[in-house]
Amino acid sequence: MHTIGKKRILILVSWSIVVIWMAVIFLFSAQPAYESDSLSRSVTLFVLNLAERVVPSLEPAINVTTLNYLVRKVAHFVIYLVLGVLTINALKMSGITTFKATVWALLICIVYAASDETHQMFVPGRSAQVRDVLIDSIGAAIGICGYYGIMRTLKE
């Protein structure tokens, strides 16, 4: 009985983390374009400063606009990579078999990515991008695969 209670708590915590992460994604998507761009530009400038310290001769070769675009796309990828890991973990904790868990995790992440892009159509200055759904989906798929790789390594 005691073990069943712990298992239920772990399942509840796992799913709670998935929902919290989805809420974080929603909040980032709810930012008007100027706020979102300001955040990504601050990350871009941090990356640029770091790169200039490591390789000072890079400064004239780096286009800030291109780097900012890459930072935004990498953020999409990483955010959904994390969602993929969290979702597959919650499904596996819930006792779903590997194949079904993989399909469901990927489906949940893709549907959430599409709904997130749709949500952005209603945010000032934002729009929906099919390309972002693809980037998000690839990030989630790699996160799911990475989860299995990590779990396999831990078992060895």
CA 136 – CA 106 distance, rounded (Å): 10
Q: Which residue has the higher pLDDT, 101 or 52?
A: 101
- Domain map (residue ranges) of the chain: 2-33+73-155
pLDDT tens figures, 24-45 = 999 999 999 999 999 999 999 8
Q: Which carries the bigger pLDDT value, residue 59 or residue 126?
A: 126
Q: Percent of the chain, pLDDT > 70?
A: 97
pLDDT of residue 118: 97
Instruction: Express each pLDDT in 58-81 by its tens digit.
Output: 666 678 888 899 999 999 999 999
And the tokens for 145? 């695969």
* Contact status, residue 24 vs residue 78, Cβ threshold 8 Å: no
Contacts (Cβ under 8 Å, ≥6 apart) of 24: 79
Cα dist from 114 to 3, 68, 71, 110, 151, whole Å: 38, 23, 20, 6, 28
